[in-house]
Amino acid sequence: MNKTNNYAVYLLDADDTLLNFTLGEKHALKNMLYDFDYEMSEELYNTFHRINRGLWKKLADGKIKKSKLLPERFRLFAAEAGLSLIPELANRSFLTHLSYQAIVLPGVESVLEQLSRHSKIIIATNGVSFVQKRRFVLSGLMPYINEILVSEAIGVGKPDPLFFEVALRLAGNPEKKDVLMVGDSVESDIRGANNYGLDSCLYDPQGLNPDSEATFTISKIEELLTL
């Protein structure tokens, strides 16, 4: 596990790769609902999670703009769940609560500490800038991170080639062969990296995508140290 790594730069996805987005999303939704005098339930969470995930996939496919996605998810959620919500206010409340959800997944800090001894660590994430940056500040992982690239800041996200171009620029313009993209999304992380000519590593702890086109597939984050 202490093998010197082969990559000069690691582009690391944030949500459900380094940080527990699923649990953070649930906590943020619960707090948002409380702000509007509603009680959280598993049914409400499942409804929101399905709607939210579907819209973010549309964003990755270029079928919706993020400015529309953010309030739209709460308009659809309120309509389906029978809640009285003002979408813009619900979204603002949710994002504020989400920005404090800095739940680091097991093994991540140790892996980043070891990788950062020899390589640059660039966080490459689709999302809202203030939310993602606050979460990493609160996570305790910043000593190991060189840069945080959030899609909102540049107007495009993974899998757009421009996102990866900017990421490499932030990393000092390394050769593509020296860069590894790591993430849990086949659509955004793996296909985006592959199409840009980078090696890719799918983090797939539940083994849901055995036939992905990733250069590597790992089920534990510690396996990054052996690549």
State pLDDT tens for residues 29-72: 999 999 999 999 999 999 999 999 999 889 888 899 888 999 99
CATH number for 132: 3.40.50.1000
Cα torsion at 144, 147, 153, 154 (round to 10°)? -140
3 in any annotated domain: no
Structural domain boundaries, residue 172? 9-19+103-226
Which pTM was predicted? 0.92
CATH number for 90: 1.10.150.240
State pLDDT tens for residues 86-123: 999 999 999 999 999 999 999 999 999 999 999 999 99
State pLDDT tens for residues 180-210: 999 999 999 999 999 999 999 999 999 998 8
Same structural domain for residues 202 and 150? Answer: yes
Catalytic residues: 13
Sign of torsion over alpha carbons 57, 28, 14, 208:
negative
Q: Which of 63, 78, 98 is the last residue of a domain?
A: 98
Do 110 and 147 touch, CB atoms closer than 8 A? Answer: no
Q: Which of 64, 98, 132 is the last residue of a domain?
A: 98
Average pLDDT, the chain: 95
* Structural domains of the chain, count: 2
Same structural domain for residues 221 and 111? Answer: yes
